Chain A
Amino acid sequence: EAGVAQSPRYKIIEKRQSVAFWCNPISGHATLYWYQQILGQGPKLLIQFQNNGVVDDSQLPKDRFSAERLKGVDSTLKIQPAKLEDSAVYLCASSARDSRYEQYFGPGTRLTVT
């Protein structure tokens, strides 16, 4: 079974530029999550999708971050414009609807904003 795929793996941009990350979850997983992990901290949930609907986006900075999950499969997370404090690893995870609550994570995208 293929795992969660993410691209790119690394991205360096200047502040005020825009960037997009892509995630392909495990086949058949209805729930998809985007996390932000700042160095030295644990992952923080940004947004959660159930199929193509948003379940929780309470911690998503909506003035600059946006995410979509068209057709309930792949997802993209966008930052526009980026700030220095957005430097982090962005993790995508997915889970089956009836899983034992564990989520399966992708390798992440390391974003550096200069």
Chain B
Amino acid sequence: DQQVKQNSPSLSVQEGRISILNCDYTNSMFDYFLWYKKYPAEGPTFLISISSIKDKNEDGRFTVFLNKSAKHLSLHIVPSQPGDSAVYFCAARERIQGAQKLVFGQGTRLTINP
């Protein structure tokens, strides 16, 4: 039962263009969504988040959009830079009996080509 899905295993984008990474979820009880970035041999690092009561959050080159009716969120990176090449994980937060639990998608490998 995959509650958070990233249907694109990989994405290749030219440097300077926009990268769009997508994520779908099924659980309407998720109240917070996060994007993590992971380089090889390192742990995931937090990138940006959005509350379920908002539809957009922007931080520099990174913008996350949330469409609650479609249960869909996306991460936009513009302009894309070579250092953005990494695996990106979408995660959703669920509160269960006072505990906060993150459910992760499978990840999308982003490659920025010079």
Residue B25, interface by CB 8 Å: no
Total A-B pairs in contact (CB under 8 Å)?
57
Residue B32, interface by CB 8 Å: yes
Residues of chain A with a CB closer than 8 A to B41's CB: 107
Residues of chain A with a CB closer than 8 A to B105's CB: 42
Answer whether A43 and B99 are a contact pair too, CB < 8 Å, given A100-B49, A102-B46. Answer: no
- Find out whether the CB atom of A106 lies under 8 angstroms from the CB atom of B32: no
Residue B34, interface by CB 8 Å: yes
Measured CA separation A4–B44 after assembly (Å) = 11
Answer whether A41 and B106 are a contact pair too, CB < 8 Å, given A55-B99, A101-B49, A101-B93. Answer: yes
Nearest chain B residue, comparing its CB with the CB of A50? B99
Q: For residues 17 through 56 of chain B, which have their beta carbon under 8 Å from a beta carbon of chain A?
A: 32, 34, 36, 41-46, 49
How far, in Å, is A54 (CB) from chain B's closest CB?
10
How many chain A residues sit at the interface, stated as a range, is 20 to 34
- Find out whether the CB atom of B43 lies under 8 angstroms from the CB atom of A105: yes
How far, in Å, is A110 (CB) from chain B's closest CB?
8
- Find out whether the CB atom of A42 lies under 8 angstroms from the CB atom of B34: no
Residue A25, interface by CB 8 Å: no
Binding site for B on A (CB under 8 A): 4, 31, 40-45, 48, 50, 55-56, 91, 93, 95, 100-108
The 4 A-B pairs at the shortest CB distance, nearest first, are namely A105-B43, A42-B104, A102-B46, A55-B99
10 extra interface residue pairs, beta carbon distance < 8 Å, beyond A31-B100, A105-B45:
A40-B9, A42-B104, A43-B102, A45-B101, A56-B99, A93-B43, A101-B49, A101-B93, A106-B43, A107-B41
